[in-house]
Structure 1
Protein backbone atom coordinates (compact mmCIF):
# COMPACT_ATOMS: atom_id res chain seq x y z
CA UNK A 1 0.00 0.00 0.00
CA UNK A 2 0.97 3.51 -0.64
CA UNK A 3 1.57 5.88 2.13
CA UNK A 4 -0.07 9.19 1.90
CA UNK A 5 2.22 11.99 2.48
CA UNK A 6 1.34 14.96 4.61
CA UNK A 7 2.22 17.22 1.75
CA UNK A 8 -0.56 15.96 -0.47
CA UNK A 9 -3.59 17.21 1.56
CA UNK A 10 -1.72 20.34 2.50
CA UNK A 11 -0.78 21.12 -1.09
CA UNK A 12 -4.38 20.51 -2.20
CA UNK A 13 -5.61 22.90 0.45
CA UNK A 14 -3.08 25.54 -0.52
CA UNK A 15 -3.92 25.10 -4.20
CA UNK A 16 -7.64 25.53 -3.53
CA UNK A 17 -6.95 28.57 -1.37
CA UNK A 18 -4.79 30.07 -4.10
CA UNK A 19 -7.53 29.57 -6.74
CA UNK A 20 -10.10 31.02 -4.35
CA UNK A 21 -7.98 34.12 -3.77
CA UNK A 22 -7.39 34.54 -7.48
CA UNK A 23 -11.10 34.21 -8.21
CA UNK A 24 -12.01 36.70 -5.51
CA UNK A 25 -9.24 39.00 -6.60
CA UNK A 26 -10.41 38.89 -10.21
CA UNK A 27 -13.96 39.78 -9.19
CA UNK A 28 -12.77 42.62 -7.00
CA UNK A 29 -10.55 44.01 -9.73
CA UNK A 30 -13.51 44.04 -12.15
CA UNK A 31 -15.59 45.76 -9.56
CA UNK A 32 -12.89 48.31 -8.98
CA UNK A 33 -12.68 49.01 -12.71
CA UNK A 34 -16.43 49.43 -12.92
CA UNK A 35 -16.55 51.53 -9.76
CA UNK A 36 -13.56 53.58 -10.85
CA UNK A 37 -15.31 54.75 -14.01
CA UNK A 38 -16.70 58.17 -13.21
CA UNK A 39 -20.42 58.54 -13.59
CA UNK A 40 -21.37 61.15 -16.13
CA UNK A 41 -22.70 64.26 -14.50
CA UNK A 42 -26.41 64.68 -15.11
CA UNK A 43 -26.93 67.13 -17.90
CA UNK A 44 -29.44 69.76 -17.01
CA UNK A 45 -31.70 70.23 -19.97
CA UNK A 46 -33.81 73.32 -20.19
CA UNK A 47 -37.45 72.62 -19.50
CA UNK A 48 -39.16 71.95 -22.83
CA UNK A 49 -41.48 74.70 -23.82
CA UNK A 50 -45.03 73.59 -24.33
CA UNK A 51 -45.53 72.93 -28.00
CA UNK A 52 -47.63 75.56 -29.60
CA UNK A 53 -50.25 74.04 -31.78
CA UNK A 54 -49.83 75.71 -35.09
CA UNK A 55 -52.91 76.52 -37.04
CA UNK A 56 -52.91 74.75 -40.41
CA UNK A 57 -52.42 77.06 -43.36
CA UNK A 58 -55.20 77.82 -45.82
CA UNK A 59 -53.57 75.51 -48.34
CA UNK A 60 -53.41 72.60 -45.89
CA UNK A 61 -57.07 73.05 -44.99
CA UNK A 62 -58.04 73.20 -48.67
CA UNK A 63 -56.00 70.08 -49.47
CA UNK A 64 -57.65 68.16 -46.63
CA UNK A 65 -61.15 69.14 -47.75
CA UNK A 66 -60.44 68.41 -51.42
CA UNK A 67 -58.89 64.99 -50.67
CA UNK A 68 -62.03 64.18 -48.69
CA UNK A 69 -64.30 65.33 -51.54
CA UNK A 70 -62.30 63.29 -54.07
CA UNK A 71 -62.64 60.19 -51.90
CA UNK A 72 -66.36 60.71 -51.31
CA UNK A 73 -67.04 61.25 -55.02
CA UNK A 74 -65.03 58.19 -56.08
CA UNK A 75 -66.69 55.99 -53.45
CA UNK A 76 -70.24 57.33 -53.75
CA UNK A 77 -72.98 54.73 -53.96
CA UNK A 78 -75.21 56.63 -56.38
CA UNK A 79 -75.03 59.37 -58.97
CA UNK A 80 -77.13 61.87 -56.99
CA UNK A 81 -74.83 61.85 -53.97
CA UNK A 82 -71.78 62.10 -56.25
CA UNK A 83 -73.31 65.10 -58.07
CA UNK A 84 -74.12 66.75 -54.73
CA UNK A 85 -70.51 66.27 -53.58
CA UNK A 86 -69.23 67.62 -56.91
CA UNK A 87 -71.29 70.81 -56.46
CA UNK A 88 -69.93 71.24 -52.91
CA UNK A 89 -66.37 70.69 -54.13
CA UNK A 90 -66.80 73.17 -56.99
CA UNK A 91 -67.69 75.87 -54.46
CA UNK A 92 -64.05 75.75 -53.30
CA UNK A 93 -62.75 76.77 -56.75
CA UNK A 94 -62.54 80.17 -58.40
CA UNK A 95 -64.55 78.77 -61.33
CA UNK A 96 -65.48 75.48 -62.98
CA UNK A 97 -62.66 75.84 -65.50
CA UNK A 98 -59.88 75.90 -62.88
CA UNK A 99 -56.96 73.96 -64.40
CA UNK A 100 -56.00 70.57 -62.98
CA UNK A 101 -52.51 69.41 -63.89
CA UNK A 102 -51.51 65.78 -63.36
CA UNK A 103 -47.76 65.12 -63.09
CA UNK A 104 -46.87 61.92 -64.94
CA UNK A 105 -43.07 62.22 -64.65
CA UNK A 106 -40.53 64.45 -62.94
CA UNK A 107 -36.78 64.49 -63.43
CA UNK A 108 -34.26 67.09 -62.28
CA UNK A 109 -37.07 69.42 -61.27
CA UNK A 110 -38.68 69.30 -64.72
CA UNK A 111 -42.25 68.05 -64.66
CA UNK A 112 -44.12 66.32 -67.46
CA UNK A 113 -47.88 66.70 -67.25
CA UNK A 114 -50.75 64.69 -68.60
CA UNK A 115 -53.17 66.58 -70.83
CA UNK A 116 -54.52 69.50 -68.76
CA UNK A 117 -58.12 69.25 -67.65
CA UNK A 118 -60.58 71.31 -65.65
CA UNK A 119 -61.79 70.64 -62.13
CA UNK A 120 -65.31 69.95 -63.33
CA UNK A 121 -64.08 67.34 -65.83
CA UNK A 122 -61.79 65.77 -63.21
CA UNK A 123 -64.57 65.47 -60.62
CA UNK A 124 -66.87 63.85 -63.21
CA UNK A 125 -64.00 61.50 -64.11
CA UNK A 126 -63.78 60.44 -60.44
CA UNK A 127 -67.54 59.88 -60.38
CA UNK A 128 -67.46 57.76 -63.56
CA UNK A 129 -64.38 55.64 -62.85
CA UNK A 130 -64.93 55.33 -59.08
CA UNK A 131 -61.15 55.38 -58.66
CA UNK A 132 -59.15 58.08 -56.88
CA UNK A 133 -55.63 57.31 -58.12
CA UNK A 134 -54.09 60.75 -57.51
CA UNK A 135 -53.20 62.90 -54.54
CA UNK A 136 -52.82 66.66 -54.33
CA UNK A 137 -49.21 67.78 -54.57
CA UNK A 138 -49.76 71.53 -54.97
CA UNK A 139 -52.64 73.92 -54.67
CA UNK A 140 -52.77 77.62 -55.46
CA UNK A 141 -55.28 79.92 -53.83
CA UNK A 142 -56.38 83.43 -54.70
CA UNK A 143 -56.82 86.22 -52.14
CA UNK A 144 -60.32 85.09 -51.23
CA UNK A 145 -59.25 81.50 -50.46
CA UNK A 146 -60.58 79.97 -53.69
CA UNK A 147 -58.47 77.40 -55.54
CA UNK A 148 -57.07 78.76 -58.82
CA UNK A 149 -54.82 75.82 -59.79
CA UNK A 150 -54.47 72.22 -58.69
CA UNK A 151 -51.53 69.87 -59.27
CA UNK A 152 -51.98 66.13 -58.74
CA UNK A 153 -49.64 63.12 -58.69
CA UNK A 154 -50.15 59.37 -58.90
CA UNK A 155 -50.28 57.53 -55.57
Structure 2
Protein backbone atom coordinates (compact mmCIF):
# COMPACT_ATOMS: atom_id res chain seq x y z
CA UNK A 1 0.00 0.00 0.00
CA UNK A 2 1.17 3.48 -0.88
CA UNK A 3 1.53 5.87 2.08
CA UNK A 4 1.19 9.59 1.33
CA UNK A 5 1.96 12.02 4.16
CA UNK A 6 1.74 15.42 2.45
CA UNK A 7 1.30 17.36 -0.77
CA UNK A 8 4.93 17.01 -1.89
CA UNK A 9 4.87 13.22 -1.47
CA UNK A 10 1.63 13.04 -3.42
CA UNK A 11 3.05 15.25 -6.18
CA UNK A 12 6.10 12.97 -6.54
CA UNK A 13 3.78 10.32 -8.03
CA UNK A 14 2.40 12.54 -10.79
CA UNK A 15 1.86 10.61 -14.02
CA UNK A 16 2.52 7.24 -12.40
CA UNK A 17 0.37 4.28 -11.50
CA UNK A 18 -0.30 4.40 -7.77
CA UNK A 19 -1.20 0.75 -7.43
CA UNK A 20 -3.97 -1.81 -7.62
CA UNK A 21 -6.51 -3.01 -5.09
CA UNK A 22 -7.20 -6.54 -3.97
CA UNK A 23 -9.74 -8.54 -5.97
CA UNK A 24 -13.34 -8.06 -4.85
CA UNK A 25 -16.08 -10.51 -5.81
CA UNK A 26 -19.42 -8.91 -6.60
CA UNK A 27 -22.04 -11.37 -5.37
CA UNK A 28 -25.72 -11.57 -6.15
CA UNK A 29 -26.42 -10.64 -2.54
CA UNK A 30 -24.45 -7.39 -2.97
CA UNK A 31 -26.32 -6.66 -6.21
CA UNK A 32 -29.68 -7.31 -4.53
CA UNK A 33 -28.81 -5.05 -1.58
CA UNK A 34 -27.75 -2.28 -3.96
CA UNK A 35 -31.04 -2.69 -5.85
CA UNK A 36 -32.93 -2.29 -2.57
CA UNK A 37 -30.88 0.74 -1.52
CA UNK A 38 -31.33 2.53 -4.85
CA UNK A 39 -34.83 1.28 -5.71
CA UNK A 40 -33.45 0.00 -9.03
CA UNK A 41 -34.95 -3.48 -9.38
CA UNK A 42 -34.49 -4.11 -13.11
CA UNK A 43 -34.72 -7.83 -13.84
CA UNK A 44 -31.27 -7.85 -15.50
CA UNK A 45 -29.83 -7.23 -12.01
CA UNK A 46 -32.03 -9.29 -9.68
CA UNK A 47 -33.86 -12.06 -11.59
CA UNK A 48 -31.29 -14.80 -12.11
CA UNK A 49 -33.62 -17.18 -13.97
CA UNK A 50 -34.89 -14.52 -16.38
CA UNK A 51 -31.38 -13.15 -16.93
CA UNK A 52 -30.11 -16.64 -17.78
CA UNK A 53 -33.04 -17.31 -20.15
CA UNK A 54 -33.56 -13.89 -21.78
CA UNK A 55 -30.59 -11.71 -20.96
CA UNK A 56 -27.77 -10.97 -23.37
CA UNK A 57 -25.15 -12.01 -20.79
CA UNK A 58 -26.87 -15.21 -19.56
CA UNK A 59 -26.39 -14.01 -15.98
CA UNK A 60 -27.40 -11.10 -13.81
CA UNK A 61 -25.17 -8.04 -13.96
CA UNK A 62 -24.09 -5.52 -11.36
CA UNK A 63 -25.51 -2.03 -11.59
CA UNK A 64 -23.02 0.36 -13.18
CA UNK A 65 -23.43 2.66 -10.20
CA UNK A 66 -22.71 -0.24 -7.85
CA UNK A 67 -19.33 -0.70 -9.51
CA UNK A 68 -18.67 3.05 -9.27
CA UNK A 69 -19.64 3.08 -5.60
CA UNK A 70 -16.80 0.63 -4.89
CA UNK A 71 -14.17 3.26 -5.73
CA UNK A 72 -13.73 4.58 -2.15
CA UNK A 73 -13.50 1.05 -0.72
CA UNK A 74 -11.01 -0.15 -3.34
CA UNK A 75 -9.04 3.16 -3.30
CA UNK A 76 -8.37 2.70 0.43
CA UNK A 77 -6.60 -0.57 -0.45
CA UNK A 78 -4.27 1.28 -2.83
CA UNK A 79 -3.29 4.40 -0.90
CA UNK A 80 -3.43 5.71 2.63
CA UNK A 81 -3.37 9.49 2.69
CA UNK A 82 -2.25 10.60 6.14
CA UNK A 83 -2.13 13.92 7.99
CA UNK A 84 -5.43 15.19 6.64
CA UNK A 85 -8.29 16.96 8.37
CA UNK A 86 -10.73 15.94 5.68
CA UNK A 87 -11.04 14.08 2.36
CA UNK A 88 -13.86 14.88 -0.06
CA UNK A 89 -15.08 12.95 -3.09
CA UNK A 90 -15.28 15.98 -5.36
CA UNK A 91 -16.22 14.62 -8.75
CA UNK A 92 -16.33 12.01 -11.46
CA UNK A 93 -15.26 12.92 -14.98
CA UNK A 94 -15.30 11.26 -18.43
CA UNK A 95 -16.36 7.81 -17.28
CA UNK A 96 -17.05 5.12 -19.85
CA UNK A 97 -18.40 1.66 -19.11
CA UNK A 98 -16.56 -0.91 -21.23
CA UNK A 99 -18.45 -4.05 -20.33
CA UNK A 100 -20.81 -5.31 -17.65
CA UNK A 101 -19.73 -6.99 -14.44
CA UNK A 102 -21.57 -10.29 -14.05
CA UNK A 103 -22.71 -11.66 -10.74
CA UNK A 104 -19.77 -13.42 -9.03
CA UNK A 105 -17.16 -11.68 -11.20
CA UNK A 106 -14.06 -10.45 -9.40
CA UNK A 107 -12.96 -6.86 -9.95
CA UNK A 108 -9.85 -4.85 -9.11
CA UNK A 109 -9.20 -1.11 -9.21
CA UNK A 110 -6.09 0.34 -10.87
CA UNK A 111 -5.24 3.95 -10.06
CA UNK A 112 -2.94 6.48 -11.74
CA UNK A 113 -2.29 10.07 -10.62
CA UNK A 114 -3.19 12.33 -13.57
CA UNK A 115 -2.94 15.73 -11.90
CA UNK A 116 -2.43 17.43 -8.58
CA UNK A 117 -2.91 21.07 -7.63
CA UNK A 118 -2.65 23.18 -4.50
CA UNK A 119 -5.76 25.36 -4.38
CA UNK A 120 -5.03 27.81 -1.55
CA UNK A 121 -4.21 25.03 0.90
CA UNK A 122 -6.58 22.39 -0.46
CA UNK A 123 -5.01 19.62 -2.53
CA UNK A 124 -7.02 18.61 -5.59
CA UNK A 125 -6.05 15.33 -7.24
CA UNK A 126 -7.38 13.65 -10.34
CA UNK A 127 -7.01 9.88 -10.33
CA UNK A 128 -7.53 7.77 -13.43
CA UNK A 129 -9.60 4.83 -12.21
CA UNK A 130 -9.86 1.60 -14.18
CA UNK A 131 -11.98 -1.29 -12.93
CA UNK A 132 -10.54 -4.55 -14.25
CA UNK A 133 -12.63 -7.71 -14.43
CA UNK A 134 -10.66 -10.88 -13.71
CA UNK A 135 -9.97 -12.90 -16.87
CA UNK A 136 -11.58 -10.30 -19.15
CA UNK A 137 -9.70 -8.28 -21.79
CA UNK A 138 -11.76 -5.10 -21.43
CA UNK A 139 -12.23 -3.16 -18.19
CA UNK A 140 -15.65 -2.60 -16.63
CA UNK A 141 -14.94 1.13 -16.76
CA UNK A 142 -12.33 3.81 -17.06
CA UNK A 143 -12.53 7.43 -15.99
CA UNK A 144 -11.31 10.09 -13.62
CA UNK A 145 -12.22 10.63 -9.98
CA UNK A 146 -11.42 13.89 -8.22
CA UNK A 147 -10.55 14.08 -4.52
CA UNK A 148 -9.94 17.10 -2.33
CA UNK A 149 -7.59 16.73 0.65
CA UNK A 150 -7.20 19.18 3.50
CA UNK A 151 -3.73 18.37 4.83
CA UNK A 152 -2.84 19.38 8.39
TM range (shorter): under 0.3
TM-score by length of 2: 0.22
Q: State which structure, 1 or 2, has the greater radius of gyration over its C-alpha atoms.
A: 1
